[in-house]
Structure formats: structure tokens, C-alpha cells
Amino acid sequence: MWIVIFYYLRVVYNLFALPFWAVLNGFRIKFSPIQKISSKANLAVGKSGRIILGARCLLETGVLLHAESGVIHLGEKVFFNRNCTVVSHHEIRIGKLSTFGPNVCIYDHDHDLGNWNKFVSKPIIIGEKVWVGANVVILKGVTIGNGAVIGAGSIVTKDIPPNTAFISKHGEYFKAL
């Protein structure tokens, strides 16, 4: 009974909170009407950033989507577990039905080693039905194919083909079919 009440309270909260966030951020946050976003999740956009949420995305407590000068685009029914961080200076695109475990970090940029005030950015494309385990870090310029599985604790710096499982251990990748 309480679960049903909590679910409807979250839906009602999102019906009011998301339009409020969109207005506060100059309408640079776009979303479908039905979302499941925790009241303790944070969506932030910079002056030229945008966030686009597909239908029925689920963002748990502590999730941060920050589009500083880039675009974050989530497909339908994307799920981010607790304390995930997604920061974009270029573009991060995530396909529908992708699932992210707790504490996942996704960054499409890093600092220019010659000038710490500048960023080097490359887009990140994550396909549909991708499963990303807990504590994974996904870095700039990576493409992850549809149906890929990334093991907990992995650091992804290279492309991952579709329907492949990857586990990073001591900087090496192991394929498991």
C-alpha cells in the first residue's frame, strides 16, 4: 500500500518539479510528462547546455546530470541508480532501456594538459539496452554498442562492440561472450 502511495507521490512531484526546473534553466531541460525522478536528484545546465529526457526515465537519489556546455540526451526508460554523475561539455547520448548501477561516472571531457583552464571534449554514445555495473567510469570519445555489459569497477576508455561483456582489471579488457 505504501509503495503505491509513494509511487504516485513521486509522479505528482515530477509533474510540478520538472516544469519548474525547466523554467529556472531557461527551458534548456526538455522532458516527457511522465518521469520518475527522485527529489534528491539534480539536473543542472550551463548557459549553452541542454538536457533531454526520454519518456519514463528513472533517476534515483544523488544522481547529477550536468550539461555545462554540452547536451545530455537520455532515451526512453533509462535508469540511473544512486549517486551517478553525468557531466557534458560536448555530447552524451544514451539509448533507451539502458541501466546504470550505483556510483557510475560519465565524463565527455578532461582538462587540456597544456592549459588547465580549457577542456578537451569528445562525444560519448551509449547504445540501447546497455547494462553498466556499479562504480564504472566512462570517459570521453567512447562508443558502447547495443546490448553491451560493463562489469563493476571498470574504467572505459575505448569503444565496446555490441552484445559484448567487458570487465576491466588492472587496465586490461577481457571479452566474455
Rounded mean pLDDT for each run of 10 residues along the chain, 177 residues in total: 57 58 58 77 90 92 94 96 97 98 96 81 97 97 95 93 82 54
What was the pLDDT predicted at 168?
A: 78
Per-residue b or e along 44-76, where b marks 16 or more CB atoms closer than 10 Å to that residue's CB: bbeeebbbbbbeebbbbebbbbbbbbbbbbbbe
Give the model's pLDDT for residue 111: 83
Q: What's the pLDDT at 115?
A: 79
Supply the pLDDT for residue 1. Answer: 57
Q: What is the pLDDT of residue 177?
A: 47
Q: Among 20, 89, 31, which Cα is nearest to 59's?
A: 31
Provide the whole-model pTM. 0.82
For the chain, list the domains and their CATH numbers: 2-176 (2.160.10.10)
- Residues with active-site annotation: 111
What confidence score (pLDDT) does residue 112 get?
A: 77
Q: How far, in Å, CA of 133 to CA of 56, rounded? A: 21
Q: What is the pLDDT of residue 117?
A: 79
Q: What angle do CA 155, 47, 28 make, to 5 degrees?
A: 85
